[in-house]
Amino acid sequence: MAEYIVGIDVGGTTTKFGILTTTGENIGKWKIHTHTENDGKNICSHIKSSIQEYCRENQIPKSKLAGVGVGVPGFVEEGSGMVNNAVNIGWKDYPLQSTLEELLDLPVFINNDANLAAAGEYWQGAAKMETSTLCITLGTGVGGGVILNGDVVTGPSGTAGEIGHFLVVPHGRICTCGREGCLEEYVASKGLRRSLLDHLRNPAESTQLDKSSEAIDIFKAAEEGDRLANRIVNEATYYLAYVLANTVVLFNPEKIIIGGGMSAAKETLLQPLVAHFKRFVLTEADQHLSFGFAQLGNDAGIYGASWLAAKRLGYIDD
């Protein structure tokens, strides 16, 4: 009788695994290096041998495994099981679902990693029981995931929830997607660095920051009252609040969850963000809404991937 799900979070440097029960209890987790050489062609066979090895060592018979969920950083078509483009992995038009199903002889379900981080927080983390949730991941870039009526929203090309690519500055900074002025070029750690370098080019005030300062240094300096750091944080949270205020009108979520490395800045980030947000938001869209920080940290992806498989296999009610 099957009772476990394997949740996999494929990242550019590390692939994380979790074995979870169909009700969301994590009974084991581990990780391996992601070998992205040869356009990531060996990743699936590494996934197979790693699962086999873990199950052998922990005496988990294959008959106990019901299915596998996989999160991928890129545009993923859940319907066709194809990865359209995952730049950091090397997969382009890659049939991930069928490749893994053949290797593992188990049902496999795939989705975008930020969507599944949102699903993880919805299933077992900060947004438990909140059936409409927006989860944003502030790291190098900005990831977004939308949970609507208890399911993840993906769309036929897998671009739903990609709020990092909302346009905020017409003809602004060039983004990795090829367009100009995307949100993540202003608010993620790379965006904060770009703002810092812009300001340092024409220094109008003394600051404890320099060219080598990272996003976390900018938040720390802002907390200590550095004026330039505060100006950069203010600008970033202004753009993010602008996007969030527009996004909540679209589907009226109950919760906005903030995760990713930059969420470590806590109140230094949240306080100006919420202040800008309150000025921008439609009052009615804010009535039942609250902000919170992600609770599952780096495990959100494996929880969300397991949720996906458990949900699609019918273990989780609608």
Closer CB to Zn ion, 122 or 186, in the complex: 186
Using the rule CB under 5 A, is 167 a contact of Zn ion? no
Q: Smaller CB distance to Zn ion: residue 60 or 240?
A: 240
SS3 of the chain: helix, strand, coil, percent, to 5: 45, 25, 35
Q: Segment near Zn ion (CB under 5 A), from 97-105, 149-157, 179-187, 203-211?
A: 179-187
Identify the residue among 182, 228, 269, 273 touching Zn ion (CB under 5 A).
182
Q: Which of 99, 112 has the CB closer to Zn ion?
A: 112
Q: Which of 186, 162, 192 is nearest to 172 (CA)?
A: 186
Angle at alpha carbon of residue 42, lines to 36 and 46, rounded to 5°: 105
HSE-CB for 260 with a 13 A CA cutoff = 23
Distance in Å, CB of 195 to Zn ion, minimum: 16
Distance of CA 209 to the CA centre of its chain: 28
Q: How far is the CB of 75 from Zn ion (least distance, A)?
A: 12
Single residue of 175, 232, 240, 309 touching Zn ion by CB under 5 A: 175
Q: Which two three-digit tokens encode residue 44? A: 């699936």
CB-nearer residue toward Zn ion: 182 or 265: 182
Separation between Cα atoms, residue 218 and residue 197, nearest integer Å? 12
Q: Which is nearer to Zn ion, 96 or 240 (CB)?
A: 240
Interface region with Zn ion, contact rule CB under 5 A, candidates 158-166, 207-215, 237-245, 283-291? 158-166
> Residue 18 has which token pair?
């979790």
Classify each residue of 288-312 as buried b or exposed e, where b means 16 or more C-beta atoms within 10 Å of its C-beta: ebeebebbbebbbbbbbbbbbbbbb
Interface segment toward Zn ion; rule CB under 5 A; list 171-179, 211-219, 250-258, 279-287: 171-179
- 165 or 311: whose CB is closer to Zn ion? 165
What are residue 108's DSSP bridge partners? 68
Please state the closest distance from residue 176 (CB atom) to Zn ion, in A.
6
Q: Does 165 bind Zn ion (CB under 5 A)?
A: yes
E strands in the chain: 4-10, 14-21, 26-33, 65-72, 75-77, 82-86, 91-94, 108-112, 133-138, 142-148, 151-152, 255-259, 290-293
Among 2, 177, 274, 316, binds Zn ion (CB under 5 A): 177
Taking the complex as a whole, the smallest distance from the CB of residue 158 to Zn ion amounts, in Å, to 15
Q: Which residues of the shown chain bind Zn ion in the complex (CB under 5 A)?
A: 165, 175, 177, 182
